[in-house]
Amino acid sequence: NHFLEQVILQNQSDENKSIKPIAFGSVIKLNPHNRNPLLKPYSAFIALSCAQFHYSGMRLVAPYENDSIIFELLHCIDFQARNFEYQQLVQLDPKEIKTQILERLKL
């Protein structure tokens, strides 16, 4: 939980910086489809980290289905190493996402 809280707090400081390709709260579709058997059934993922996570192409993502984040399948994907492309579906309000995540961490 501490790790996730730090990632969320890190993203709050990025709000006024230049626009990033995959912003915190972006709902995306991956191409090619993720081969991980746990993630394969999901077509949409939400970005829960900023574009430069540890100064690499890695993004913290979770499946996003029926307006819900599936926290149990939180996953880190290296977009550079795996040559993933993505299609942005929607951009959610980062403040609403932060509230949802922090409420979940209290459980």
> What CATH number is associated with residue 6?
2.30.30
- Position 70 scores a pLDDT of 92
Answer whether residue 94 shows pLDDT above 50: yes
Residue from 45, 53, 42, 62 nearest 20 by CA? 53
Q: How far apart are CA 91 and CA 107, in angstroms?
A: 26
pLDDT at 63: 93
State the pLDDT confidence band at 8, using cuts at 50, 70 and 90.
low
Token readout for 35 is 């081969």
Whether cis (ω within 30° of 0) applies to the bond prior to 32 is yes
pLDDT at 48 over 90: no
pTM for this entry = 0.70
As a whole number of Å, the end-to-end CA separation of the chain is 11
Q: Report whether pLDDT(17) > 80.
A: no
Mean pLDDT of 31-51: 80
Helix axes 94-105, 2-12, angle to 10 degrees: 160
Number of domains in the chain: 1
**Separation in Å, CA 62 to CA 16, 17, 24, 29, 96:** 24, 24, 12, 11, 16
User: Residue 55 is part of which domain span?
Assistant: 2-105
